[in-house]
């Protein structure tokens, strides 16, 4: 029997889809705040963490000071309001 009918070894597992947190940064090309795609955490030359990604509208490179902790803190502040 095939696994598509729900009687195989994978039928009891639920699919977990991890979504990236929404990262908002300033796009210099668009001159406004935009959503950042493919954001990765990088270490700058001072040893602090920043986020590097691409603008969702124009595709140019974006940079945001502060790592994932800063994004989580901003999300907590927005949900408290």
pLDDT digits (tens, 9 = 90+) for 9-65: 555 556 566 676 889 999 999 999 999 999 999 999 999 999 999 999 999 999 999
Q: Give a yes or no: residue 1 inside a domain.
A: no
Helix, strand, or coil here: 9? coil
Whether 14 is in a domain gets the answer no
Return the structure tokens found at 55.
């603008």
Q: Is there a contact between 8 and 2 (Cβ–Cβ < 8 Å)?
A: yes
**Count of domains for the chain:** 1
Rounded to two decimals, the pTM is 0.69
| Domain membership flag for residue 13 | no
Q: How far apart are the first and last CA of the chain?
A: 53
**Beta-sheet strands, E only, within 1-81:** 23-27, 32-43, 49-55, 61-65
Domain range enclosing 42: 21-80
In angstroms, the CA 54 to CA 34 distance is 10
């Amino acid at each position: 029997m095939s696994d598509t009918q729900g009687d195989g070894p994978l039928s009891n597992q639920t699919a977990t889809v991890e979504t990236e947190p929404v990262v908002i940064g300033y796009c210099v090309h668009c001159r406004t705040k935009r959503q950042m795609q493919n954001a990765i955490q990088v270490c700058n030359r001072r040893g602090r963490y920043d986020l590097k990604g691409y603008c969702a509208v124009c595709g140019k490179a974006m940079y945001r000071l502060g790592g994932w902790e800063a994004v989580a803190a901003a999300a907590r502040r927005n949900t408290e309001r």
